[in-house]
């Protein structure tokens, strides 16, 4: 059998596994394309997890109570552990994790109020992690919006075609739910208090819009490839709309107004 014919057989076997729901467990079962795409998605998640942890660190000191300092410290610990787990998956696939970390500054933040959908560095973090968290209300609204948005995205990974990633994300997903719950509790408190309502609404306007940009374009060809390979299940639009619908319901409960055009009835397109 020629090398090309052998490659075709391997590709066919891989897609048969994906279509049957039988997970891929080893690099030997992957086509070069599958491995490249998988590593791209893993690196986006790993860089985002670690960058997110770095952004939270100052809030251990600046949190309003000792109890909150402990909660923030535990969130930081969770995020670093998430990063370690995903970087571990990359290492198993032959990626030089240490060289990558030595070449990047995942603690860097931008001063601009809006960088659109671009990355501000050479790392692979989702671009919302380039923004600084400047107030306690920012920290809470990041929990409320971004952690929830990440949860919607990770939901697809729970049943993805790469078994090791799906299993790692199961534990990450469960911990993200607790982070979201922390944000929900505080948003209700801040939004329903007349003294802090306006600040909470302002933070909601800012972080909700930024979070919408994490979901990618409705016309993304990359997303089509991710779904073909079983690494994602839904379109960008489907994931975004699920997030928007949930937030819209919660905003009503919390006495917050949805920001302008960005409602479930009028979704926007973002590039990715």
Q: What is the pLDDT of residue 5?
A: 62
**Which is higher by pLDDT, 193 or 261?**
193
- What is d(CA 123, CA 103) in angstroms, rounded to the nearest whole number? 9
Q: Is 24 helix (H, G, I), strand (E, B) or coil?
A: strand
- What is d(CA 27, CA 90) in angstroms, rounded to the nearest whole number? 11
Q: Which of 175, 113, 180, 172 is nearest to 142 (CA)?
A: 180
Question: Between helices 163-191 and 236-254, what is the axis angle to 10°?
Answer: 30
Mean pLDDT in residue range 187-212: 97
Is the model's pLDDT at 119 over the cut of 50?
Answer: yes
Mean pLDDT in residue range 184-201: 97
DSSP H or E stretch at residue 57: none
Domains assigned to the chain = 22-254 (1.20.1260.10)
Is the model's pLDDT at 269 over the cut of 50?
Answer: no
Residue with tokens 């016309």: 219
What's the pLDDT tens digit per position in 219-266? 889 999 999 999 999 999 999 999 999 999 999 999 999 997 555 544
- What is d(CA 115, CA 131) in angstroms, rounded to the nearest whole number? 9
Q: What is the pLDDT of residue 73?
A: 98
Residues present in the chain in total: 272
- What is d(CA 130, CA 195) in angstroms, rounded to the nearest whole number? 29
Mean pLDDT in residue range 126-143: 97
DSSP state of 158: T
pTM here is 0.92
What's the pLDDT tens digit per position in 80-114? 999 999 999 999 999 999 999 999 999 999 999 99
């Amino acid at each position: 059998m020629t090398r090309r014919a052998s490659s075709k057989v391997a590709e066919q076997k891989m897609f048969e596994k994906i279509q049957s729901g039988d997970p891929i467990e080893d690099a030997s079962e992957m086509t070069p394309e599958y491995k490249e795409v998988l590593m791209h998605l893993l690196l986006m998640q790993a860089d985002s997890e670690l960058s997110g942890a770095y952004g939270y660190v100052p809030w251990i000191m600046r949190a309003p109570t000792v109890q909150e300092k402990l909660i923030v410290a535990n969130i930081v610990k969770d995020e670093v552990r998430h990063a370690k787990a995903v970087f571990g998956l990359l290492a198993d696939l032959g990626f030089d994790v240490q060289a990558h970390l030595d070449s990047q500054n995942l603690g860097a933040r931008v001063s601009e109020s809006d960088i659109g959908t671009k990355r501000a560095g050479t790392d692979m973090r989702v671009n919302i992690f380039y923004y600084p968290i400047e107030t306690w209300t920012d920290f809470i609204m990041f929990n409320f919006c971004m952690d929830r948005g990440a949860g919607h995205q990770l939901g697809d990974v729970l049943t993805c075609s790469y078994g090791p990633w799906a299993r790692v994300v199961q534990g990450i997903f469960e911990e993200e739910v607790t982070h979201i719950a922390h944000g929900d509790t505080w948003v209700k408190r801040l939004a329903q208090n007349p003294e802090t309502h306006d600040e909470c609404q302002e933070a909601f306007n800012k972080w909700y819009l930024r979070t919408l940009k994490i979901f990618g374009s409705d016309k993304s060809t990359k997303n089509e490839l991710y779904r073909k390979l079983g690494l994602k299940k839904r379109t960008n639009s489907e994931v975004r709309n699920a997030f928007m619908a949930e937030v819209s319901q919660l905003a009503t409960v919390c006495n917050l107004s949805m920001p302008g055009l960005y409602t479930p009835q009028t979704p926007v397109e973002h590039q990715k």
